[in-house]
Chain A
Amino acid sequence: MFRRVLIANRGEIALRVQRTCREMGIETVAVYSDPDRNALHVRHADHAVHIGPGPALESYLAIDKIIAAARATGADAIHPGYGFLSENPRFADACAEAGITFIGPPADAMRALGGKISGRRLMQQAGVPVVPGADNISVDDFTTAKREAERIGFPLLVKASAGGGGRGIRLVQRAEDLENAMRASGSEASTSFGDATIFLEKYVSPARHIEVQMIADAHGNVRAFGERECSIQRRNQKLVEEAPSVAVTPEIRKRLCDAAVAAAKSCGYRNAGTVEFLMDRDGNFYFLEVNARLQVEHPVTELVYGGVDLVALQLRVAAGEPLPDLDAPVEPAGWAIECRINGEDPYANFAPSVGLVDYLQVPGGPGVRFDSMLFPGLDVPVFYDSLLGKLIVWAESREQAIERMKRALKDLIVSGVDTNVPFHLALFDEPDFRSGDFSTSWLEANFRMPEPPADDPRLETALIAGALAASLVAGASEAGPAANGPSRWVQASRAQARRGIRVEGGVRGWRRGIASR
């Protein structure tokens, strides 16, 4: 096993990986940018290396700086987390050249899965269902494309092989629009990615986003951990994930897991990965792509498969150990839901929100897990994505998990940054969500953030607390106690109000020892 692991990431996932390392007796190395100096992942690490200014290109995406940090601290492995360099084959190569184990798939597997057309062909050969389509077309050869389009049927998508982030994709409803869509897609792909290669794909809609967690070891073993349901999305960002999915029967689950195992074996995959599928209303599913890393939403899988620690498995297989429990049941136990707690204002079109966290109350109790970068005193930086933490619950049934999540959301207090907690609370009261009747387009097409009710009983509590705070602050600035002496609640609170002072200002503390900057 490794002696010292560098975690090339920040935020909640850096903490998540650190926790497992500590439990396994492995030392951790944190890397941090200037605005992350105060972050928890720096505070909790065994070693910490400053790697540059805020912009990710100059810090968390700087391969040379991270390799140098690993060398300087004697790390024998690097865990990339998700995002940043996690799916960059050049980073995996750089680790190999430096003699450091990359805790993730081989660079070759990443490259094979990276191109959309090469990925499709690989999966077809492995017997994994792909969306019906045609990859034998070119921008100039409209005759072939038209013939293939008629075979596939409309509506269909024109996609760029090198695409990403939704670029180079055109939805075509009618045959007469095909030629223009091909030209537009090809030129956009050429501009964005320097590669005009396009292909056609049937438009599967409405569809659910269903994904399967798998992990492969160096001895040819692959284990699949059932599915996650990730259809609740806005602007292609997942917001709520569940395991299992209401739409997946044991028979479909078996086929999904078999497909995920075949996908992993087709490209010599190793370590943890997620095979993403689109699934239609009839339970037909089609390969979408492989996310060659640990996913944000991995905890829901951990909770319904007996608390398995996926990060521990990643470390073990990266160290060459065989996967344990290959005969474990493929059926999940109970139900898990994750809410992404984002720094954004649900009442202002989900605009990003940053700021100084002046108070935090974390929910607890049975079946509640909170993986988060938050602590009172954290100044949430503007440079990175809006994920502040993940609230995850487990219960015996989906209905109970929904009620448990609502309870936990109401117990969560994050003060200083706006969060999407009100969005989650509203979502969990939607009949379509409760019945499980949704697809990837449901949220954007059907959900409107409700205006808060005018007769909300919480308003009275807010007014009482606000008035008390206002009179407390006014009282604290008075010269002395009132003639008949301050009442017991003033006595109890006034000293706090004088010192404290969350009501009066912030908790921005001192900071010293900035030699590393």
Chain B
Amino acid sequence: MATRHRFSVAGVPHTVSVDDAGDRLVLRIDDRGPIEVDATTEGVPGLFSIVRDGRPSRAYVAREGKALRVIVDGRTFVLAPANAGRERGAAGGLADPPGKITAPLAGVVVDVRVKPGDRVEPRQVVVVVEAMKMQNEVQAPHGGTVTSVRVQQGGRAEKGELLVEYTPDPEA
């Protein structure tokens, strides 16, 4: 049985096919020549040992949302679903689509600077989230009118959590 997996790594698409031929495991990366490997996660789920042509390599795989996070020798790769674009750093605050402002990182809400009915200008700070003694100002990506504020001062915000909803200005 063969499976085919499409990933986007830092915006670059990759296709990996996995052919599990019983006692042999053959992969093809981006339709290049076959790679025969002996792989196991015995012991710790997600902790892979891969032996290829007598050469071992190691990786740890964990799921992160819809993506896979893979750690190899001190470097972390995010294998996003195909067409997901650049996954890292592309969420929360200024990176949000119009209408919603989400938390770019987890933390404690130390200041809420808008209330329903307020006008917000592009790049205006709407909420301040503190994590690890650093204050992070969450800015509105677009101008508009605030319709609801979903957090309160002193509360905790998770990464990606909805902070503020607003009706965006019609595009000029």
A residues within 8 Å of B by Cβ?
54-55, 343-345, 347-348, 351-355, 358-359, 361, 382-386, 409-410, 412-413, 415-416, 418, 421-422, 425, 452, 454, 456, 458-472, 474, 482, 484-485, 487-490, 492-493, 496-497, 499-505
Please report the C-alpha to C-alpha distance between residue A385 and residue B9 in the assembled complex, in whole angstroms: 31
Q: Which residues of A contact B18 (CB under 8 A)?
A: 467-468, 471
B70 CB contact (under 8 Å) in A361, A412, A425, A462: A462
B130 CB contact (under 8 Å) in A345, A382, A505: A382
Asked if A463 and B79 sit within 8 Å, CB to CB, the answer is yes
Assess A463 versus B76: contact at CB under 8 Å? Given A347-B88, A485-B22, A487-B20. Answer: no
Instruction: Let me know if B41 is at the binding interface, CB within 8 A.
Output: yes
Asked if A503 and B63 sit within 8 Å, CB to CB, the answer is yes
Please report the C-alpha to C-alpha distance between residue A360 and residue B38 in the assembled complex, in whole angstroms: 24
Smallest CB–CB gap between A457 and chain B, Å? 9
Q: Which residues of A contact B23 (CB under 8 A)?
A: 487-488
Instruction: Let me know if B168 is at the binding interface, CB within 8 A.
Output: no
Instruction: Let me know if B162 is at the binding interface, CB within 8 A.
Output: no
Asked if B61 and A469 sit within 8 Å, CB to CB, the answer is yes
Please report the C-alpha to C-alpha distance between residue A343 and residue B132 in the assembled complex, in whole angstroms: 9
Given contacts A413-B71, A496-B41, A503-B63, 13 further A-B contacts (CB under 8 A): A55-B108, A345-B89, A352-B105, A355-B159, A382-B108, A418-B76, A452-B10, A468-B48, A468-B61, A493-B42, A496-B43, A500-B46, A501-B45
Q: Which residues of B contact A385 (CB under 8 A)?
A: 132-133
A490 CB contact (under 8 Å) in B20, B29, B63, B75: B20
Asked if A425 and B74 sit within 8 Å, CB to CB, the answer is yes
Q: Which residues of B contact A361 (CB under 8 A)?
A: 47, 60
Please report the C-alpha to C-alpha distance between residue A384 and residue B107 in the assembled complex, in whole angstroms: 11
Between A and B, 14 residue pairs with Cβ closer than 8 Å are: A347-B89, A352-B134, A354-B106, A359-B47, A410-B73, A415-B46, A416-B62, A452-B75, A462-B59, A465-B39, A465-B70, A487-B24, A493-B41, A502-B62
Q: Which chain B residues in 157-172 approach chain A with CB under 8 Å? A: 159
Asked if B75 and A458 sit within 8 Å, CB to CB, the answer is yes
Shortest 10 CB-CB contacts between residues of A and residues of B:
A500-B45, A465-B59, A467-B16, A352-B131, A386-B132, A352-B132, A462-B70, A502-B46, A462-B77, A458-B72
Instruction: Let me know if B125 is at the binding interface, CB within 8 A.
Output: no
Smallest CB–CB gap between A67 and chain B, Å? 25
Residue of A nearest to B136 (CB): A351
Asked if B72 and A496 sit within 8 Å, CB to CB, the answer is no
Residue of B nearest to A387 (CB): B132
Binary contact readout B60-103 vs A (1 if CB under 8 angstroms, 0 otherwise): 11110000111111111101000000001100000000000000
A462 CB contact (under 8 Å) in B35, B72, B106: B72
Residue picked from A409, A492, A496, most chain B C-beta under 10 Å: A496
Chain A interface, >50% SS class: mixed
Instruction: Let me know if B149 is at the binding interface, CB within 8 A.
Output: no
* Count of interface residues, chain B, beta-carbon cutoff 8 Å: 67
Residue picked from B17, B40, B52, most chain A C-beta under 10 Å: B40
Residue picked from B23, B88, B132, most chain A C-beta under 10 Å: B132
Instruction: Let me know if B37 is at the binding interface, CB within 8 A.
Output: yes
A464 CB contact (under 8 Å) in B43, B50, B71, B134: B50
Please report the C-alpha to C-alpha distance between residue A429 and residue B128 in the assembled complex, in whole angstroms: 36
Q: Which residues of A contact B3 (CB under 8 A)?
A: 467, 470-471, 474
A492 CB contact (under 8 Å) in B40, B63, B70, B76: B40
Q: Which chain B residues in 1-48 approach chain A with CB under 8 Å? A: 1, 3, 5, 7, 9-10, 12, 14, 16-18, 20-25, 27, 29, 35, 37-48
Asked if A465 and B7 sit within 8 Å, CB to CB, the answer is no
Residue of A nearest to B52 (CB): A464
Assess A461 versus B45: contact at CB under 8 Å? Given A353-B105, A358-B62. Answer: no
Instruction: Let me know if B57 is at the binding interface, CB within 8 A.
Output: yes
Please report the C-alpha to C-alpha distance between residue A361 and residue B49 in the assembled complex, in whole angstroms: 14
Residue picked from A384, A464, A488, A504, most chain B C-beta under 10 Å: A464
Asked if A382 and B131 sit within 8 Å, CB to CB, the answer is yes
Asked if A503 and B61 sit within 8 Å, CB to CB, the answer is yes
Asked if A415 and B69 sit within 8 Å, CB to CB, the answer is yes
